[in-house]
Amino acid sequence: ACERDLQDFSGAIEAINLDLEEQKTRMESLQNMVAARMKAEERIGEQVNGLQSGLSATQVDLS
């Protein structure tokens, strides 16, 4: 009975480890998605700043 309990416990630990690995993979994927989004937002911000500078220069030229 003790050996069976030990096998059951070992199986449960293996299942937990598998679940933890799956969660780790999901977390890494989520972190990569967030990082990619932040980079995209940064690029968009740079483009907006460039457009604003261009508009400011155009307004000065029109004055």
Mean of all residue pLDDT scores within the chain = 95
Task: Supply the range of the domain harboring residue 53.
Answer: 1-63
- Whether residue 38 is predicted with pLDDT greater than 90 in this model: the reply is yes
- Whether residue 63 is predicted with pLDDT greater than 80 in this model: the reply is no
Quick check: pTM over 0.75?
A: no
Sole residue written with tokens 């911000």: 45
Instruction: Say which residue, 9 or 60, is predicted with more confidence.
Output: 9
**Number of folded domains that form the chain:** 1
